[in-house]
Amino acid sequence: MNIDQARREHAARRATSVVERYCQVHPDSLLAKKIADRSVTGVEAYQLLKEFARDPKTDVARPDLLHLTIAHELDGAATHGWPISIVIVDLDDFKKINTELTHVGADDILRDVAEILREGVRDSDEILDDDGTVVRWGGEEFVIVLVGANNENAVRVAERLRTAIADGFIGRRPNGKPVTASFGVATWTNLDDGEWRDLLIKADTLLARAKAEGKNRVRF
């Protein structure tokens, strides 16, 4: 099986699982009722969920469905034995950027960073899933889900993204100040216990370490 076919099959399984999990959590929702009376297909329901969970400012996903997606991916990883990595990205000194560029200019930076992250994930050969894996976690923070990426591969992806951000905004801040981001990378393997929250907490702890050690770096 080639990578494109594997990605298509994986995407189909994820769509079914996320919709089922959503309906279990929200059995009285309009979407659950539409699925029950067959007004929409599972694929259509998943597309509706993705659109509902899209962040209008950056055009990546909001965190609404993140826990459902990660829970599915952890189940798949346990079944198939592949790893899953979480990368948390936080723009450095964003309050200063807001002050320098006003909210309008800072929002432009956020949108461009989101595009760098999305394109970087899409072009990566290290992962199985390149659809819907970049999430705006809140403010200037993003979460990236890298299915099939072990820690070494996830760190490689994070380093590429870090460099792309550091090189991508020359001249956008006054006095030549750079735009940079810090990264925390955590990886789950089928030898690990725990749930999706544990993986996020571990990545967030590593992100805090990157900030404390000087910013503009990846910690894993």
Rounded Cα gap, residues 101 and 163, in angstroms: 22
| Residue entry with tokens 């216990």 | 193
At 19, list the tokens: 């919709």
| DSSP characters over 26-79 | -TTSHHHHHHHTTSS-HHHHHHHHHHHTB-TTTSSB-GGGHHHHHHHHHHHHHH
Q: Which residues are catalytic?
A: 140
Rounded Cα gap, residues 96 and 176, in angstroms: 14
Q: Are 138 and 149 in contact (CB under 8 A)?
A: no
Phi, psi at 100, each rounded to 5°: -70, -40
At 13, list the tokens: 């399984």
Classify 90 in phi/psi space as left (phi over 0), alpha (psi -120 to 50) or beta. beta
